[in-house]
Amino acid sequence: MTLDSLQLLFFKNYEAAALQFAPGLNCFIGDNGSGKTNLLDAIHYLSLTKSALTAVDANSIKQGADFFVVKGKFSAGEGTDAETIQVSLRQGQKKTLTHNKQHYERMADHIGRYPAVLVSPYDTDLIREGSEERRKYFDSLLSQYDHGFLDVLMAYNALLRQRNALLKQAADRPAHGFDRDYLLAIDDQLVPLGTGLSQQRAAFLERFTPIFQQHYQQLADGREEVSLTYKSQLLDTDFDQLLRQNERRDLVMQRTTTGAHRDDFVFLMDGLPVKSYASQGQQKSYAIALKLAQFEILTSRLTTAGTGAAKPLLLLDDIFDRLDDKRIARLLELVADDTFGQVFLTDTNLARTDRALANVRGDIRRFRVQGGTAAQL
Give me the residues that bind ligand ADP (CB under 6 A), please. Answer: 12-13, 30, 32-38, 59-63
* Shortest Å, Cβ 12 to ligand ADP: 4
The residue at minimum Cβ distance from Mg ion is 37
Piece of 33-41, 217-225, 322-330, 360-368 that binds Mg ion (CB under 5 A): 33-41
Closer to Mg ion by Cβ: residue 7 or 37: 37
Piece of 31-39, 52-60, 156-164, 167-175 that binds Mg ion (CB under 5 A): 31-39
d(Cα 81, Cα 11) in Å, to the nearest integer? 27
Give the total of residues touching Mg ion (CB under 5 A): 2
Contacts of 333 (CB under 8 A, 6+ apart): none
110 binds, among Mg ion, ligand ADP, none (CB under 5 to 8 A by kind): none
d(Cα 47, Cα 96) in Å, to the nearest integer? 14
The beta-strand segments (E) located in the chain are 2-11, 14-20, 25-29, 67-75, 83-90, 96-99, 102-103, 116-119, 226-231, 264-269, 272-273, 313-316, 343-347, 364-370, 373-376
d(Cα 248, Cα 101) in Å, to the nearest integer? 50
Closer to ligand ADP by Cβ: residue 193 or 374: 374
* Shortest Å, Cβ 290 to Mg ion: 20
Closer to Mg ion by Cβ: residue 28 or 230: 28
Say whether 31 counts as a known binding-site residue: yes
Assess 37 for contact with Mg ion (CB under 5 A).
yes
Contacts of 356 (CB under 8 A, 6+ apart): 320, 328, 332
Closer to ligand ADP by Cβ: residue 54 or 80: 54
Q: Are 114 and 1 in contact (CB under 8 A)?
A: yes
34 binds, among ligand ADP, Mg ion, none (CB under 5 to 8 A by kind): ligand ADP
Closer to ligand ADP by Cβ: residue 16 or 185: 16
Smallest CA-to-CA distance from 40 within 249, 227, 319, 259 is with: 319
For residue 109, the tally of other CB atoms under 10 A from its CB is 13
Piece of 29-37, 62-70, 206-214, 240-248 that binds Mg ion (CB under 5 A): 29-37
* Shortest Å, Cβ 11 to ligand ADP: 8
* Shortest Å, Cβ 23 to ligand ADP: 23
Closer to ligand ADP by Cβ: residue 13 or 162: 13
33 binds, among ligand ADP, Mg ion, none (CB under 5 to 8 A by kind): ligand ADP
Q: Are 99 and 49 in contact (CB under 8 A)?
A: no
Residue 194: exposed, middle, or buried by beta-carbon count in 10 A (0-12, 13-18, 19+)?
A: buried
d(Cα 149, Cα 261) in Å, to the nearest integer? 14
Say whether 33 counts as a known binding-site residue: yes
Contacts of 243 (CB under 8 A, 6+ apart): 187, 190, 191, 250, 256, 258, 259
Query: What is the DSSP secondary structure assignment for residue 371, as one 8-state letter?
Result: T
* Shortest Å, Cβ 53 to ligand ADP: 8
Smallest CA-to-CA distance from 287 within 139, 169, 124, 45 is with: 124
Say whether 281 counts as a known binding-site residue: no
Closer to ligand ADP by Cβ: residue 32 or 276: 32
Specify the 3-state DSSP secondary structure of 330: helix
- DSSP assignment of 291-303 equals HHHHHHHHHHHHH
Say whether 311 counts as a known binding-site residue: no
* Shortest Å, Cβ 316 to Mg ion: 11
* Shortest Å, Cβ 318 to Mg ion: 6
13 binds, among ligand ADP, Mg ion, none (CB under 5 to 8 A by kind): ligand ADP
Say whether 341 counts as a known binding-site residue: no
State the binding site for ATP.
Answer: 30-37
**Where on the chain is the footprint of Mg ion (CB under 5 A)?**
36-37
